[in-house]
Structure 1
Amino acid sequence: MSALLSVQDLRVRFRTMGSLKALTTGTADPFIDAVCGVSFEIRKGETLALVGESGSGKSTIARTIIGLQPAISGSIRFDGQELVGLKAAERKSYLRRMTMMFQDSVGSLSPRLKVQSLLTEPFRIHGMSNRHPGAEAERLLRMVGLPAEFGRRYPHQLSGGQARRVGVARALALNPDLIIADEPTAGLDVSVQGEVLNLLARLQDELGIAILIITHNLNVVRHMADRMAIMYLGRVVEIGSTERIFDHPRHPYTQALLSANPVPDPDAVLNRIEIKGEVPSMLRRPTGCEFHTRCQYAQEICSRVFPQPAANSDDAEHRFKCHFPITCESELVLEARPRIKWIDEGMEPGTLMSP
């Protein structure tokens, strides 16, 4: 199946100081590389998760895909069309087919507009004035399990879970092919997280939408994502199917992340792997493999030579960058589980049920 979204060798930089200060201080390169040569693909109807510690570049990639942050180099192709370098007017038709759910569910909603206006704003922006605002708002609210009267509320009158549902409804307004969900469960109670995840899974099954989910919550990844990409200091260090990576991580950083993931079983015995040291500053990137300063398996070559991409001999889609990849089977308790079903599907929308 051809890729709906293809990101190749993407690079994003941020300036750390003004031109005058850089000149007076003799700083030749006043930039940091927030994203360094990232590549991945998302197929139609698929969910890919970007996983990593805070500051690893996940949200920057999302903002660059959607056009809120320029790329220095690389390629972003959506349904075969190159987006890097396009003017805003040229990108507009493609932005109708991809939408973003921002991390701050309430902060991303204008406090001056009622929910109905927030939901129908995309129609106005894209010149679709033939849509009836009230009917469209009611349709979208119904899709996410909220009653029509919520259209008359302001964002400050919504709970966190309700605001997140409104964000999902707004993302669905133009019938997109791709939704970029940045930490969709951030700040929500566990039961409400389950509602939101079930909602996204149901809408994906019904509408065939592809989802790029950005999170550091591995339980969300386990239950939502078909494939996952592990990021460290702006690079993808491992990518492959979620089941394969959870069962057989090849990069030491991935192994450490998985070992630290909470398991809801008090009798489970896990081999916790502690990552030593702090995440290096992007201003002073380590030479060679950037994880070598924290890696328990690092050897001398790791500090000098950057590892080239490699793939499993029996799974070409499972790729990693490591001089000494993990070969033994992980001893973590990582049994396969179905998607989260924290809400009884026979219940009315909005009914909470504890996990």
Structure 2
Amino acid sequence: MSALLSVQDLRVRFRTMGPIKALAIGTKAPFIDAVCGVSFEIHKGETLALVGESGSGKSTIARTIIGLQRAVSGSISFDGQELTELSAAERKPYLRRMAMTFQDPIGSLSPRLTVRSLLTEPFRIHGLKDRDAGAEATRLLRMVGLPADFVGRYPHRLSGGQARRVSIARALALNPDLIIADEPTAGLDVSVQGEVLNLLTRLQDELGIAILIITHNLNVVRHITDRMAIMYLGRFIEVGSTERIFHQPRHPYTEALLAANPEPDPDAVINRIELMGDVPSLMRRPSGCEFHTRCRYAQDICSHVFPEPTASREDAHHSFKCHFPLERETPMRLEQRRLSLAGPLRK
């Protein structure tokens, strides 16, 4: 089955200084590479998570896919059509089939527009003048579990959870095939987080949409995703099924992320893994494996040879970049703790 979205060797960079200053101080490359050679696919009805620390490049990938950021090189193909070769006007029909919910739900909603105007804005942008704005707004609110009388409210009168639902409703306006959800549970109470995740899961089951979810919340990842990709300094360092990575992480950074998952039980035995040092600057990337400055398993080769992608012997779709991958399974106590905390894995 062909992929709905295919991203191949995507590279995104940002200029750190103007060309005149760069020339004056003799800098040949006044840029930082935020995304370095990232490749992945998403199929219809599938959920993929991008996981990593803040600043690892997750949101940059999302913004590049929907055209808010330009890629330096690489391919972005949607339903078989290469998007990077199209003009803004030519991309519009394909962008209509994608939608994104942003990390700050209230900040992404114009304070000058009512909920009705916010929900029907996609119809105006895409020239769909034959729609009944009132009926469409009511339909979308109903889909996300909000009453019809919310159409007259302004964003400042919405709670965080309500604003998140309005953002999801707006994303659903044009019946997209793909939704990109950037930190969909950020800033929400735990109970509201559960409601939002259940809403996304229900909508996916009903509509068959694919979801690209960006988060550092591992409980979210375990609850709703099929596959996950771990990012570090703009690269994928481990990719595979959610079940496989939680059960047997192969990269030391993934192991540390899983061990750092919050534990609500004060009596639980927690096996934390303390990483050495700070996250390196994108302006001064370490040579070799970029994680070697913080890795407790690092050896001499790690400091000067970049590891090539390696497929797991047990699962060809599980790949990682590490000279000395972990061979052991996740400790049983950690596995039991995550199961009790997050519930069963999504199948």
- The reply to whether TM is greater than 0.5 is yes
Matches within 5 A, 1:1-355: 1-331=1-331, 333-335=334-336, 336=339, 337-338=343-344
On the 8 A contact 1:109/1:155 being kept in 2, the answer is yes
Q: Secondary structure at the match of 2:7?
A: strand
| Residue 339 of structure 1: how far off its partner (Å) | 6.3
- Aligned equivalents of 1:40, 1:270: Cα separation in 2: 33
1:289-315, CA deviations, whole angstroms, 9 ceiling, x for partnerless residues?
000000000000000100000001121
The TM-score normalised by the length of structure 1 is 0.94
On the 8 A contact 1:238/1:318 being kept in 2, the answer is yes
- Matching residue's letter, 2:128: M
- Aligned equivalents of 1:200, 1:329: Cα separation in 2: 31
- Matching residue's letter, 1:140: L
- Matching residue's letter, 2:177: D
- Aligned equivalents of 2:210, 2:166: Cα separation in 1: 19
- Matching residue's letter, 2:48: L
On the 8 A contact 2:243/2:345 being kept in 1, the answer is no
- Aligned equivalents of 2:145, 2:317: Cα separation in 1: 37
| Residue 269 of structure 1: how far off its partner (Å) | 2.1
- Aligned equivalents of 1:318, 1:269: Cα separation in 2: 29
Identical amino acids, percent of aligned pairs: 79
On the 8 A contact 2:44/2:208 being kept in 1, the answer is yes
| Further displaced range: 257-266 or 85-94 | 257-266
| Residue 85 of structure 1: how far off its partner (Å) | 2.9
On the 8 A contact 1:268/1:333 being kept in 2, the answer is no
- Aligned equivalents of 2:88, 2:19: Cα separation in 1: 26
- Aligned equivalents of 1:95, 1:118: Cα separation in 2: 18
- Matching residue's letter, 1:217: N
Q: Secondary structure at the match of 1:211?
A: strand
- Aligned equivalents of 1:51, 1:142: Cα separation in 2: 31
- Matching residue's letter, 2:286: P
| Residue 333 of structure 1: how far off its partner (Å) | 1.4
- Aligned equivalents of 1:297, 1:339: Cα separation in 2: 30
- Matching residue's letter, 1:333: L
1:307-352, CA deviations, whole angstroms, 9 ceiling, x for partnerless residues?
0000011211100000000001221512443269xxxxxxxxxxxx
Q: Secondary structure at the match of 1:9?
A: strand
- Matching residue's letter, 1:33: D
- 1:347 aligned residue: none
- Aligned equivalents of 1:119, 1:17: Cα separation in 2: 39
Structure 1 residue runs of 5 or longer lacking an equivalent are 341-355
| Residue 263 of structure 1: how far off its partner (Å) | 3.0
1:170-195, CA deviations, whole angstroms, 9 ceiling, x for partnerless residues?
00000000000000011111111111
1:149-172, CA deviations, whole angstroms, 9 ceiling, x for partnerless residues?
100111111111110000000000
The TM-score normalised by the length of structure 2 is 0.96
| Residue 2 of structure 1: how far off its partner (Å) | 1.9
1:13-63, CA deviations, whole angstroms, 9 ceiling, x for partnerless residues?
000000111011111100000000001111110100000000000000000
1:50-91, CA deviations, whole angstroms, 9 ceiling, x for partnerless residues?
000000000000000000000000111111111113211011
- Aligned equivalents of 2:203, 2:170: Cα separation in 1: 13
RMSD: 1.1
- Aligned equivalents of 2:148, 2:129: Cα separation in 1: 21
Q: Secondary structure at the match of 1:28?
A: coil
- Matching residue's letter, 1:252: P
1:258-302, CA deviations, whole angstroms, 9 ceiling, x for partnerless residues?
001013334432321111100000000000000000000000000
- Aligned equivalents of 1:321, 1:302: Cα separation in 2: 11
On the 8 A contact 1:6/1:40 being kept in 2, the answer is yes
- Matching residue's letter, 1:334: E
